[in-house]
Structure 1
Amino acid sequence: MKQIVKLKKETSFIVIMIIALFAFNACSSDDDNVATDEGSSELTINDYVQIATGQVTLYDKDGAVINSLSSGDTFYGQDANYLKGVTMSFNEDDEGITTDNNTGLMWEQIPTTDEFTWEEAKEYCENLELGGYDDWRMPNLKELYSVADFGKGWPYIDTNYFALASGEVSKDEQFWSSNLYVGVTVEGGANAAFGVNIVTGHIKAYAASMPEDGGTDGGTPPDGNTPPPGDGNGAPTGNPLAKYVRAVRGDVYGTNSFTANGDDTVSDSNTGLMWAQGDDGVTLDWADALAYAENSELAGYTDWRLPNVKELQGIVDYSHSPTATDAANVGPAIDPIFDCTEMISEAGYDDYGYYWTGTSANFTSGQPYYYAWYVAFGRAVNDEGEDFHGAGGVRFDTKDVDGPAGEDAERYYNYVRLVRDIN
């Protein structure tokens, strides 16, 4: 009898262990860090950790290097005074992959020399097998900009870890992002997608595909005063321009988590930054914009500053544009929790302006850093005031009215969006 009782106990124990094992396996299959398919594994992505721009040098309005600046000095408050964000850090493995040690993203280190339309680039990334992984994808703009190095310039990327597609420092080093443009551009009509030029540092909306009729733009935006680009009767878009692509893998990086604080400020819990909810409607040259930010007091805080280019690009909402073809998306390229001053553009459209950053830029390799980066929350215009680069584009202007001319119509006076660190 004792043997029978003992056997029953052992049998019960075995059954319990089998049930527990099945339960453990069931739970493990839902674990985000467990490989689910051969050749793919999930990565831990660090929400929206803010990455430094890499710019550590101070510049005046003419691009001359300044050895040091103290609070209250002219040009104090620029990017290199604050050095905000974690230092860029990468690791190269033997499989042609670069890992960003801050974000956790894995990047295709050596892009293919082939050029693609936007759809072709997306397909290439999704079909890529590299380093034993098959879950590659096209990166979004905030991911592409997280690895941009504004301490270098021409190219604006660390070529020790990221190879150029052409192998040459050329303005043709334009890389697609996953962000389609919801608005209408001169080149792409309503068929545009954003990309990053890793040599010039710009973000621009490029023609992504040919319209179905082969010759007119993809639609007229619904704001009452905006004609289609070109002659007003349907602008030719020309052939789509093929671009390069650099695949990435990992969960999406660059998601904001905004909260309106009820005191004219907005906090982003993912980046740890607090923003002014609106602007005061005043446009300034770069030096005055720096001074304005340094001397601002809002909601009881006095530690406001001018954002650097990665911080300001980080609050762009690419689902909005003044030229959006869907009326629900018409507006500045920023979350509706924020306010932007309305303005009249050079072409007479209801529009929104450019906003200064504290980050300097050079027009070409070897030139002084007499430009400063801005983010366009409204149309990023050409000489005719048309939406050429797309709302959410990132460009640069000369720092004051006496600066050298750039590629497009200059706006020497731009708006300020204040930022401060929550902690």
Structure 2
Amino acid sequence: NDPASHLILPDVTGLIPDTGQTKCYDDAGEIACPQSGEAFHGQDAAYTINPPSYVKIDAQGYYLPDSATNWAMVHDLVTGLIWATSNGHHTYTWYDISEDFLSVLNDSSFGGFHDWRLPTLEELRAIVDNGVLHGQTVNTHFFHIAGATYPYYWSSTTFAEDASYAWVLDFDHGGDRKERKSDDHYVLAVRGGKAESIGNLVANADGTVTDTSTGLMW
């Protein structure tokens, strides 16, 4: 990447990054990924779509080389989203995020932008690397994630069955769960149109599911 080039602002693509899954399994455990026609063929690890691709950005909105050791934002070239890489590892209740964190970024035009927001659960999932078996399930070469045992990060997605809860993502394991909005957890800020098209799934009458974002059928 050209470290002298200024950030170009693309539209949110709606594309799904590859999950990073590299292993296949049968009923007993891990196996070599089956070929077409073999039992257990068709697992995630056998396919690669849209490999994750990131660019570091400085606080003025300029691209940096991958070797840069000081950066403020990350541009996800697959989804088009831009992430603020760290909030100093402070924690917030879900209710306090807008006033105590996002408003600070937006009022100061952090990175030259004033539309920072809380990511949806699907947007957080899009930066998870499911190929990581031990350690943080995110590319730490680009993202600064808290080193807590359970680094839960808030999403903007409210739990449908109880509005006093919202979804968090645990970057230590790559899973998600609901937490009370009054609890304190970490935050990543994102900007760009909400990638609501990530993972649009349609249940077909024959028992299969079509992902309208990629055209894949499951």
Where on the TM-score scale, by shorter chain, does this alignment land: which range? 0.7 to 0.9
Matches within 5 A, 1:274-289: none
1:42–1:98: structure 2 CA closer, same or farther, 3 Å change rule?
closer
Q: What is the one-letter code of the residue matched to 1:56?
A: T
Structure of higher CA gyration radius: 1
> Following TM superposition, by how much is the alpha carbon of 1:131 offset from its aligned partner in structure 2, in angstroms?
1.6
Give the superposition deviation at 1:262.
7.3
Match of 1:156 in 2: 137
Q: Is the 8 A contact 1:171 1:200 kept in 2?
A: no
Give, in whole Å, the separation in 1 of the partners of 2:28 and 2:210: 35
2:16 matched to which residue of 1?
50
Which residue in the other structure is 2:62 paired with? none
- Kindly indicate whether residue 31 of structure 2 is the aligned counterpart of residue 89 of structure 1: no
Partner of 2:68: none
Aligned pairs, how many? Answer: 193
What amino acid does structure 1 have at the position aligned with 2:113?
Y
Within the alignment, does 1:248 sit opposite 2:190 as a pair? yes
Task: After TM superposition, give the deviation of residue 108 of structure 1 in Å.
Answer: 1.0
Against the structure 1 CA distance between its residues 62 and 160, is the aligned structure 2 distance closer, same or farther, given a 3 Å change threshold?
Answer: farther
What amino acid maps onto 1:194 in structure 2? W
Mapped to 1, the partners of 2:207 and 2:33 lie a distance apart of 33
Structure 1 residue 268, shift from structure 2 partner: 5.1
Contact in 1 for aligned 2:137/2:174 (Cα 8 Å): yes
Kindly indicate whether residue 74 of structure 2 is the aligned counterpart of residue 98 of structure 1.
yes
* Deviations 1:35-81 (CA, angstroms, capped at 9, x unpaired): xxxxxx965111x21221011233455554x3452234444322112
Identity across matched positions, percent: 31
Name the counterpart of 2:65: none
Q: Does 1:133 align with 2:133?
A: no
Distance 2:205 2:38 in 1: 33
Indicate if the aligned counterparts of 1:138 and 1:178 stay in contact, CA closer than 8 A.
yes
Taking the aligned partners of 1:205 and 1:147, their CA distance within structure 2 comes to: 19
Taking CA–CA contacts closer than 8 Å with sequence separation of 6 or more, which of the two structures ends up with the larger relative contact order?
A: 2
Amino acid corresponding to residue 138 of structure 2 in structure 1: I
Aligned counterpart, 1:195: 168
Partner Cα separation in structure 2 for residue 259 and residue 58 of structure 1: 25
Secondary structure at 1:131 match in 2: helix
What's the CA shift for 1:260?
A: 7.9
Over 3 Å counting, the alpha-carbon distance change for 1:136 and 1:258 in structure 2 is: same
**Aligned pair in 2 of structure 1 residues 264, 164: CA closer, same or farther (>3 Å)?**
closer
Letter in 1 for 2:43: Q
Q: TM-score, normalised by structure 1?
A: 0.41
The code of the aligned residue for 2:104 comes to N
Segments of structure 1 that go 5 or more residues without pairing to the other structure are 1-40, 185-189, 210-240, 275-418
Residue in structure 2 matched with residue 183 of structure 1 by the alignment: 161
For residues 122-158 of structure 1, the C-alpha deviation after alignment (integer angstroms, 9 at most, x for no partner) is 3312431422222110000111111110111431111
Code of the residue aligned with 1:191 in structure 2: it is: S
- In 2, distance between residues paired with 1:107 and 1:76? 36
